[in-house]
Chain A
Amino acid sequence: MGKKPRVGVFKFASCDGCQLSLLDCEEELLEIADRVEVAYFLEATRLPLTGSFDLALVEGSISTPEQVEQIHDIRARSRVLVTIGACATAGGIQALRNFASVHEFLRLVYATPEYVETLATSTPIADHVPVDFELRGCPVNKTQLLELISATLAGRRPNIPRHSVCIDCKRAGITCLPVAYGVPCLGPVTQSGCGVLCPSYNRGCYGCFGPAQLTNVQGLVQAYRRAGVPEDELDRLFHTFNAWAPGFRESTRPVPKETEGNTEH
């Protein structure tokens, strides 16, 4: 192979958890470092942002005017742009602000809110620039991240499913929580990818990977209502890391019409 592909890892509004998933690939990381040139990755190196990238991995959502400019710059520098994690793909937990008034929050949280420059919304990267692939999860799954990088290096489509968690849950032979114990689980409408983490520990799925492809969120909402799941519990279930993902967004609350200041300059 000629020149090693240049990879950049970028961060917007997020907790760094997804980048840490990359650092968590200790053994494989040496191999990655061997195969690619990590040209920008603040969690690991201190190289300045220069030149262009063959692959940009982008974590975090867009929540300030400054970030809007930065993401356009990164897009312009990158051949393939992949967003990683619920913040980058759906707006993250911080997108809960989209359902309310951010100014109210600011007033409550900060002593001098006028120093805080923020947008009224937290939105996914794909709302601002074209994205080549979205790697879901809160955080992303290490195996999927490696699969994505392997596939990109091999020039093939990554084996990353978009179907329900239930398919993998049944393959793993786990007892179904809502059916056998009456525990609400978001698995039926959530995209698989975590390795069925929560159901294998008897916890209902929290929806970390966002809505499954072409699913029917309302069908599950209605079923859990019929089963007597309290409305506030149902609302909380759908309004976490992927609250702003289409499908979850309209699940239990009226959708705010035109969210003010909705970003694009």
Chain B
Amino acid sequence: MAPDEGRAETALLLRKTRFQDLLDHLVQAGYRVIGPTVREGVVTYDEIHRVEQIPRGWVDLQEPGKYRLRYDKNNPFWFSFTPGPISLKRYLFPPTQTLFRVRRDNGRPRAEAVIPDPPRYAFLGVRGCDVRAVAVQDRVYIDRQGQFSDSYYAKARERCLIIAVECQTFADTCFCTSMGSGPQVQSGADLVLTELPDAFVVRSLSDKGQAIVSALELPPAAPEQVAEADQAVREAAGSMERRVDTTDIRNLLLRNLENPRWEEVAKRCIACANCTMVCPTCFCFTVQEVTDLSGENIERRRVQDSCFNPEFSYAFGTIVRQTVSSRYRQWLTHKFATWYDQFGTPGCVGCGRCITWCPVGIDVTEELQAIRNSDGERGASA
């Protein structure tokens, strides 16, 4: 395990008794700390200030169409849960944003940009899948040549700090190992924390991360501590049961556009769009123009949208994807096939959210396997 040994050299130790110092330091350094906390029966990402707000000892149960939380008072671990419905997408690409307003001023229209300045977020407790999801969204919203970047997203990203926590337990719906996004975190975060019963092994992957650990003057972790922490993550990775066979998956899907499975899943899928809304990489939005009664004030808004919304495919005066099968096919083939063409990676990071939060429990991993099993079959066209 060469890379792990390399990482071990720089590993530091953060005792749980000092975790509050980390939170305090982040606030002092001007960050708004967004971390996991329990709200309305689920683990969400929200602003936190105190360690008590972290769902220490809480364990989630997730399966297709079902989410439950339970508290285990004998559990010494602080991060025994996996992501809930909310991802960093909510903060980096807010669900609704007003872009500009136009009002009539002495008969002349005057436009005023109203995009707010993003806060400096410190995202804490981000899992491997969600760290990768941010990298996937970066390719959508940030233009490396700097020409066509989304200004809010790019600025929020530049300012933010990501503190990852590697998973040692996972939900039935997780399949990050298949998508290569977890549970280990090798890149994309500023700091990576790996949990022990009484401390965290801390690794810094960036200058921003280094500045934090230097300020906290963390001691080095003992080699046994590093080995124990890494072993726990490796074991978790090894026991993950849900899998997606990604072999040639792009071509598999694109040669099966007429597969009868699309019709079959369309009997169960209710096109509610929950899967795309909770997906941390789905990036679609629509733009609305709103006037007031006087017609003097106009506002342009951007709101998150979904390919399951029939109007999403409204073009040339009609809705192109009328059938649920065509909309389901759009979603699955975008995530696992055409995303490669657009951005060079899959659009899925294996977080399992779309499986848990589908109210009828449709499971992308099962659908992909069904297509693979019936490769080449043709039904009535979707």
List residues of A whose CB falls within 8 A of some B CB: 28, 31-32, 35, 146-147, 149-151, 153-154, 156, 159, 161-164, 166-167, 170-176, 178-182, 185, 187-189, 212-220, 222-223, 227
Q: Are A166 and B272 in contact (CB-based, < 8 A)?
A: yes
Contact partner of B310 (CB less than 8 A), chosen from A28, A147, A162, is A162
Separation of A153 and B295 alpha carbons in the complex (Å)? 8
By a CB distance below 8 angstroms, the chain B residues around A161 are: 309, 311
By a CB distance below 8 angstroms, the chain B residues around A146 are: 293
Separation of A181 and B68 alpha carbons in the complex (Å)? 8
Q: Are A180 and B310 in contact (CB-based, < 8 A)?
A: no
Q: Are A173 and B311 in contact (CB-based, < 8 A)?
A: no
Q: How many A-B residue pairs have CB under 8 A?
A: 142
B 64-97 contacts with A by CB, 8 A: 65-68, 85-86, 90, 95-96
Contact partner of A159 (CB less than 8 A), chosen from B40, B266, B290, B295, is B290
Q: Are A175 and B269 in contact (CB-based, < 8 A)?
A: no
- Shortest C-beta distance, B201 to chain A (Å), equals 33
Contact partner of B268 (CB less than 8 A), chosen from A147, A215, A222, is A222
Q: Are A32 and B293 in contact (CB-based, < 8 A)?
A: yes
B 247-270 contacts with A by CB, 8 A: 266-270
Q: Is there a chain A Cβ closer than 8 Å to B278's Cβ?
A: yes
Q: Are A179 and B304 in contact (CB-based, < 8 A)?
A: no
Contact partner of B356 (CB less than 8 A), chosen from A167, A179, A188, A212, is A179
Contact partner of B304 (CB less than 8 A), chosen from A35, A171, A180, is A171
Given A156-B291, A166-B274, are A223 and B65 also a contact pair (CB < 8 Å)?
yes
By a CB distance below 8 angstroms, the chain A residues around B40 are: 174-175, 180
- Shortest C-beta distance, B277 to chain A (Å), equals 4
21 A–B contacts from the bound complex (CB under 8 Å): A32-B293, A154-B291, A163-B273, A164-B270, A164-B309, A166-B273, A166-B359, A167-B272, A170-B95, A170-B304, A174-B40, A175-B40, A176-B67, A179-B67, A179-B357, A179-B359, A215-B272, A219-B268, A219-B270, A219-B324, A219-B360
Contact partner of B293 (CB less than 8 A), chosen from A150, A166, A219, is A150
Closest A residue to B44 using CB positions = A173
Closest B residue to A159 using CB positions = B288
Q: Which 7 residue pairs are nearest across A and B when measured between Cβ atoms?
A: A188-B272, A170-B277, A171-B95, A223-B360, A175-B40, A219-B270, A163-B309
Q: Are A164 and B271 in contact (CB-based, < 8 A)?
A: yes
Separation of A174 and B305 alpha carbons in the complex (Å)? 16
Contact partner of A176 (CB less than 8 A), chosen from B273, B274, B304, is B274
Contact partner of A31 (CB less than 8 A), chosen from B266, B294, B323, is B294
- Shortest C-beta distance, A178 to chain B (Å), equals 5
Most chain A CB within 10 A, of B41, B303, B309, B319, is at B309
Contact partner of A170 (CB less than 8 A), chosen from B42, B274, B311, is B274
- Shortest C-beta distance, B3 to chain A (Å), equals 37
Q: Is there a chain A Cβ closer than 8 Å to B207's Cβ?
A: no
- Shortest C-beta distance, B91 to chain A (Å), equals 11
Separation of A208 and B92 alpha carbons in the complex (Å)? 33
Separation of A176 and B85 alpha carbons in the complex (Å)? 9
- Shortest C-beta distance, B286 to chain A (Å), equals 9
Closest A residue to B301 using CB positions = A159
Q: Is there a chain A Cβ closer than 8 Å to B306's Cβ?
A: yes
Separation of A61 and B89 alpha carbons in the complex (Å)? 44
Q: Are A216 and B273 in contact (CB-based, < 8 A)?
A: no
Separation of A4 and B378 alpha carbons in the complex (Å)? 60
- Shortest C-beta distance, A86 to chain B (Å), equals 21
Closest A residue to B95 using CB positions = A171
Contact partner of B311 (CB less than 8 A), chosen from A154, A163, A219, is A163
